[in-house]
Structure 1
Amino acid sequence: MEGRIQLNQSNGILLESGTNELEIVEFEVANNKFGINVIKVKEIIQPTTVIPIPHSHPHVKGIVQLRGEVLPVVDMARVLGVAEEETAKSKYIVAEFNQQKVIFHVHNVTQIHRISWNQIEKPSEMYSGVQSGIIGVIKRNESMILLLDFESIMLEINPETGIRVEQVRKLGKRERMNKRIVAAEDSPLLRKLLNDTLKEAGYEDVEFFENGADAFYFLETLVEGNKDLKESVHLVLTDIEMPQMDGHHLTKRIKNHPKLKNLPVIIFSSLITNDLKHKGEVVGAEDQISKPEIAELILKIDKYIL
């Protein structure tokens, strides 16, 4: 295929872990600017022949064969409710997260930006929420780049890829009322799913935060108030991609804090792959679980706080 762009660790594009920086691929749909984390992107290719699939989800254009793999093609114009378009600038973004590969059809791919997570503003309550699909806003000069919730996009298309409470029910009746968890997760939809499944697992005392900065401030305030951390919080659960402070930097801050360093941290993210697991190890996370392996997550929580 012509015009293929590889994005991987070998070309040095991925950043050192714990710096609270990320690189995003900026792309356009109907002249609006959006972003996807470089870590999610395997390559960018020119559009190729798509085979339609009868009765598939409306957002799915069809399937393509890419080096022996059959991958679904999601049309981002359909996802965003704008006019579909096929031009000379159209691109296919080949992505991998949540243990799945998918291709996103966009109208143009423009550039890559290196930014800090604290430059990403959380969406206003007027347009955020479970259904908005926007997890962050980046202001650049006179324009804005919107970071989309790709996990939620794929969850709508295929609910089987999400956190499923029935996996936890198989663990049997459980009582964990005396254990308190601090959880950092920016997606409203995933916060709700996580809350429901943790309750099913017996963990009813969960304090949720929209980003790592708020979670760290809460923890730091607890220990500065001379609270006994062992009595206040038993474990931290964190996503990686979050505005203000990402999960790797949150873990690093906790492990470098003299009063917080013994607090177990589990990273629960769609970005946990064999290629990227070392990033969590470097910052000192006790464990890393890939979404949506919720049953495995519960067993790991049991291991570190019971």
Structure 2
Amino acid sequence: KSGRFKVFQGDTLQYKPSETIVQNMQRTSTLYKNQSMAWMELKPQYSLEAQENWVLSQLIDNKKPVEQDNFDEKCPDWSDVILRLRKRGYIEKPVKLTEAGIEYIQDLLLLNPRGLPAEPEFSVHVAPIATGATVTEDEQIYNKLSSYMRKVLGLDMEGSGLAASADSYDMPFIFAKGVSDFADPYKDDRYRTFAARASAELLILLLRNSESLFTRKEDKLPEIESDNMDSDDIVRLLAELYPDFDETQVLWERAGGKLSDLENKSRPYTRWHTIWKKVNQGSEVTPKALLQIIQKDNPQCIAIKSLLKAYHS
């Protein structure tokens, strides 16, 4: 009977922030070092992996870890460490190295002759994140993902929903993820609080140093020569002015239309392409009536004024 196992169900869609946002992210990835980092105190001093290695290094030297002067410092999570080492098959009861444990720690010390490897320093990366419906406890997950996502550095469950929602409204989005585990069978929650705080701190720093990401609505409108607007220019302009479907419905009713005439197409440009084609093909709402309502909402929009003047002539 074959055993069941979980798999990572990746989303085949890919979402990418604008080059401007990426550039600001890359700048922030080093800028944080010049800021106050009191929040770093939330980071556990030693990971469970580091504590495991210390315990194994004591055992291979025939020392009892609990009798060492620096035991409380080097292994503050003794109970969790012992359970994990047993799960890995590195020790057996009571606290005795197995053949697998001896082989592991000997190899580790051979590769690190000057002592156990130091804890990795905190760092910030700007790279793709794989996202999907479920996340598995799989030590080989990154090897599998790299076969079709070469630069992926993170694994997450919520990212695709955020990106898809933002993309459907043509909105910029930023996704900050604090890595708290390695998606393997030995993951724990010790770094969750620190990871959440770190991602929030970096996101806030990014926003504070990215004034160019914040623009007024009128500043985001396409640069269009109002005297030379074609159908595509008009659709882009309307999609920028009314990206939200509910707002579009209200506008349509105010212009004399029925809500049943509109289709809820997710992308603003696609929606307005359909609407503008409809009003120019004899719908209940005329281009002039629609533009008059839009001008009331956006009295400073020169392009709408010019367009409405053309329909008056």
TM-score, scaled relative to structure 2: 0.23
Structure with the largest fraction of helix: 2
Task: Select the structure of larger CA radius of gyration.
Answer: 2
Higher strand share goes to which structure? 1
TM, length-normalised to structure 1: 0.24
